[in-house]
Amino acid sequence: MKGHHSIKMGSSKLLLLLTVVGLNSCKIADLRTSAIDLQAPDREKRAMALLERAINSQGFDVLAQAETYSFEATDNWRGLMAVFNPFPKDNEVMEMRFRTQTFDSQFNYKNAKVSKMYGVQSFRYYEIEEDGTPKFRNKKSLRFTLPAIQYLFELPLRLQKAPIVKYAGTTAVEGVTYDLVFATWKSLEPNEEFDQYLLYLSQETGRLTFANYTVRNAYLPTPKHIYGTIRYEDLQENEKGVLYPTTLYIQINKLKRNRRWTHKMSIDHLELNSFNSAILYPNKDLKFLGDAKN
């Protein structure tokens, strides 16, 4: 979920951007582990069972049955990393709305003096001013970021549909043992078209705690060897029994302590079916893509 918006960058921020972009590498990020069994089926039974356990243990089976969901969120970018913030404002409360297992979503700032909606419909970005007229714009940052936030929030549900899902061994982190599940598309080997994911699922609870993910098609030039990590923390249960993280720490490359983050998203007040999905579709002529990307 990396990006930037049209803020005025000082010389130090511009230098940071050029430095990060310039750190390119021919090596492509590869999240496979040595424990992956090359002889096992692409959708390995053990891995699929672990994903199903994660979904059920967190009540995401309930989330899957909801047509829509919403929550309040703030996204806080640290220090010079604020240059990559894709949102118009930093660390202000957003009311975010999603259609489950699609890429259609929108948000507004809860405390803004002037009402304005920002959204993505069928991978087209739009803004709706107070007069209610949608204006579709070419804004790559939010066109990428809103679907990415939704995908990473729903991650166990989304990866259940991946064509390659493999058991990737175990690891211990901070005194807890995790089963690892690897997921990707097209080929087990890394390819430049599709992302890889590595999920850390608690052996004790079955819940998703951490995830590594690649970003093959970022809207900004991104070094091929760079990948991201999320810490899903501070779980809270909503009234329907969905157990969701209220703090997501986003980190660069390998898993680190939660104080080592580039940006932090805080989530609260998860509600299911609290609005009509029709509001996510201001252009009735756009083809509905669902969970497809084109």
Answer yes or no: is pLDDT of 132 > 60. yes
C-alpha 190/C-alpha 36 separation (Å) is 14
Burial of 38 (0-12, 13-18, 19+ CB in 10 A): exposed
Is 161 within a domain?
A: yes
The more confident residue out of 222 and 105 is 105
In a domain, 291, yes or no: no
The count of domains in the chain is 1
Please indicate, yes or no, if residue 5 is contained in any of the structural domains: no
Q: Which residues of 182-206 are buried (b: 16+ CB within 10 A; e: fewer)?
A: bbbeeeeebeeebbbbbbbbbeeeb
| 2 in any annotated domain | no
Can you tell me the distance from the alpha carbon of 88 to that of 73, in angstroms, rounded to the nearest whole number?
14
Q: Please, which pLDDT band fits residue 25 given cuts at 50, 70 and 90?
A: low
CATH number at residue 246: 2.50.20.10
Q: Is 241 contained in some domain? A: yes
Neighbouring CB atoms inside 10 A of 135's CB total 10
8 lies in some domain: no
Judged by average pLDDT, the poorest of 19-23, 69-73, 107-111, 213-217 is 19-23
**Confidence at 163, pLDDT banded by 50, 70, 90:** very high
Is residue 141, in this structure, part of any structural domain at all? yes
Q: What are phi and psi of 172, to 5 degrees?
A: -110, 130
From the centroid of its chain, how far is CA 226? Answer: 16
Residue at 21 is within a domain: no
Q: What average pLDDT does the segment 124-138 reach?
A: 93
The boundaries of the domain holding residue 41 are 27-280
